[in-house]
Amino acid sequence: MQGFDPKFKDFPDYIIGITKEIWEDRGLATLHEYYAKDIVVRMPSGVSTGNQGVIGATMATLAEFPDRKLLGEDVIWSGTPETGMLSSHRILSTATHLGDGGFGAATGKPLVYRIIADCHARNNAIDDEWLVRDQGAIVRQMGWDAKAYAADLIAREGGPAAATKPLCPEIDIEGPYKGRGNDNKWGAKYAAILQQIMTADLSVIPIEYDRAVQCEYPGGITAYGPDAADRFWMALRAALPNATFQIDHQIGREDAMMPPRAALRWSLSGTHDGWGMFGPPTGAKIYLLGICHAEFGPRGLRREYALFDETSVWKQMWLHTG
């Protein structure tokens, strides 16, 4: 790969390899090499810039979860080494809450949760990132309710006036990556399915989803069958019935020894004015960043991984209602 260290055989090998090197092999100093000095990192909890911030956040996480493992389940990617490549990296993480930190006093609880990170890389360095971690799964395994955790987080940050503002278009920072993915048919197919769901036509689910579909949803939920998919997407859309749905990035791939796959990064932006996943309507202005992966088989969509951060949604509601 032009511009990349020759020890990596391809782009997925680069992404999975540097993740292990940084986190598990404790090569934090390599972040000066693998992360651009002025990188923009967007998470539902906020936006940061610069690799010094990434290094600090990585050390804080490892102090709290010293045995953390990041198991790369898939890398769905687009682009070229010459123009830059965008990876959508799905990770299953295991960890034990052994240190005090951002999640409070150490609980000793073992955790399993997913992350999906969209990273743009050129010349052996990542310079733009969108990362969604299943915070709902983490806090539930620690004994928290996601809504209560968000309220406690605001209090620990000094109250509503001082609390860190969750990600929204008003505070986003434009990074170097301007791409939209690729035009592969599997990305287009999954995008069409989600567009139809978000226009309240959930009849597409039993048509396009395999009857044995495996569904992996926020909060560490694993469920099976089209009915589970219907309940999840219905509850989300019902909570934000008038929010604008937008697909910001779309990738489809067909690779050897892998099923056809798709990766979509999307958002819902609007008002919490409906009953659904987040309880009684609050009127809060909500921005929800989501990333989904899908795998297809002979009978339709056979695995779906949908991820967003529930705690950041609840935080936006708490900041609105006080």
| pLDDT averaged per 10 residues in sequence order, the chain, 322 residues | 93 96 89 93 96 90 96 97 95 98 94 98 97 98 95 96 96 96 98 98 98 98 98 98 98 97 98 97 98 98 98 98 84
Residue by residue, DSSP assigns 86-106 as EEEEEEEEEEE--S-BTTBS-
pLDDT at 31: 87
pLDDT at 154: 97
SS percent in the chain: helix, strand, coil, step 5 = 30, 35, 35
* Per-residue pLDDT tens digits for 96-128: 999 999 999 999 999 999 999 999 999 999 999
Q: How far out from the chain centre does Cα 173 lie?
A: 18
The interaxial angle of helices 51-64 and 11-23, nearest 10 deg, is 60
**Rounded distance between C-alpha atoms, residue 288 and residue 242, angstroms:** 13
Q: Which domains does the chain have, with CATH numbers?
A: 11-156 (3.10.450.50), 185-321 (3.10.450.50)
pLDDT at 53: 87
Q: What is the reported pTM?
A: 0.96
Rg of the chain taking only CA atoms, in angstroms: 19
- CA dist 100 → 66, 69, 107, 108 (Å): 11, 18, 8, 10
Which tokens in the block code for residue 187? 């990305």
Exposed, middle or buried: residue 298 (CB in 10 Å: 0-12, 13-18, 19+)?
exposed
* Per-residue pLDDT tens digits for 169-220: 999 999 999 999 999 999 999 999 999 999 999 999 999 999 999 999 999 9
